[in-house]
Amino acid sequence: MLLGVGVFLLVLTQLLAWYVEPRAKRTPTDVNSTTVFEGQGSYFDTGSVSRVDDQTITITRRVLGDVAGSERSGNAIWDVSTQIDTPKTLPLADPRKSLQWTTERWVTDRRTNLPVHCCEEKPGFEGEAYLKFPFDVEKRTYTWWDSTLGAAVPLKFEEVTETNGREGYRFVGTVKATATGTRLVPGVLVGSAKPGQVLAEEWYSNARIELTVDRRTGRIMNALIAPKKTLRAPGSQKDAVTLLSSKRLEFTDATRREQVKLASEDAGRLKLLGETAPLGGGVVGGLLAAVGVVLLMRGSRRPEHSGE
């Protein structure tokens, strides 16, 4: 019995280490989470037709997994809603009344985290990281998709740091001022000499992108950005209107605590399957198997006694 139990544990631990644990490293499909950025900044108020400074800017991102679609496709399908609010719009329940509201649909490979272009993806995107990083994060440069830019941004590994007591890898990057589109506005708004409406150029930059990532799970435990969105007259090299600007928008304390908690729980399960259980089960299984072999050998050597 000891030999049988020992062999069973040895086989089971190998299955955990080489079969179960790698398959547990899959991006979840039943996601339902909310992350919030907050900080001081400026924005363009359409009511007063002027820039308003030193205001609290709030970015709320809600992610809901499409479980049924994920099961059909075998990929992770997440529907993402992002709204930017000012003190005026934050109390309103309707995201359409926020300063800016966008909806996206992201489809990724559950194992590699790479984009998969299917299943009504919107918009098409590239890169290795967006809402999360791949599992087993390395100290190297990753390409992170910036939705506002509409392109991938290289984020370099900066240092090992801690967020709420949990160790993570910090990655940093920047976005230089880049034209991202056009918007029809009164020419006088952007200082254009042309009468009537003009197609003003939208420009975007980000002075600091800083993401602190859990190494084992790839979950983003803290995020900091410093975005700036402006309008320029057609062909101009100077910003005429600041649509949004902040030197520091960061996860709120509540969001950081929640992200660290989830990272710790997920990493604990992966460690149990990949390290703790295989190691402990292997040691116990080996000892039981050894004891069983010794007992069998002693039993086979025991002399037989014949009856009278």
Give the pLDDT mean for 265-277.
Answer: 64
pLDDT, averaged across the chain: 85
pLDDT in the model for residue 298: 63
Among 51, 138, 69, 157, residue whose Cα is nearest residue 107: 69
pLDDT bin (cut points 50, 70, 90) of residue 93 is: confident
Query: Could you tell me if residue 299 is inside a domain?
Result: no
Confirm whether 283 is domain-assigned: no
Q: Helices 277-301 and 2-15 sit at what angle, rounded to 10 degrees?
A: 150
How sure is the predictor about 281, in pLDDT bands with cuts at 50, 70 and 90? very low
Contacts of 302 (CB under 8 A, 6+ apart): none
Is pLDDT above 60 for 8? no
Q: Residue 5's closest CA among 293, 267, 219? A: 293
Question: Angle at CA 111, nearest 5°, toward 110 and 113?
Answer: 70
User: Is residue 136 domain-resident?
Assistant: yes
Q: Which long-range contacts (CB under 8 A, 24 or more apart) does 261-267 make?
A: 262/33, 262/219, 263/166, 263/168, 263/214, 263/216, 263/217, 263/219, 263/221, 264/166, 266/214, 266/216, 266/217, 266/219, 267/214, 267/216, 267/217
Q: What is the mean pLDDT of residues 156-167?
A: 97
**CA-derived radius of gyration, the chain:** 28
Domain membership of residue 280 (yes or no) is no
Does a structural domain hold residue 308?
no
CA distance 266 to 189: 50
Domain boundaries, position 212? 10-269
Q: What's the structural domain count of the chain?
A: 1
Q: Which of 270, 184, 216, 211 is nearest to 35 (CA)?
A: 211
- Rounded to two decimals, the pTM is 0.82
Rounded mean pLDDT of 120-142? Answer: 94
Answer whether residue 195 is part of any domain.
Answer: yes
Minimum mean pLDDT range among 28-32, 170-174, 230-234, 259-263: 28-32
Asked if residue 290 belongs to a domain, the reply is: no
User: Is there a domain that residue 139 lies in?
Assistant: yes
Query: Residue 155 above 60 pLDDT?
Result: yes
Q: From 266, 259, 202, 258, select the one nearest 234 (Cα to Cα).
A: 202
pLDDT band for position 12 (50/70/90)? very low
Please give the average per-residue pLDDT across 52-78, as a whole number.
95
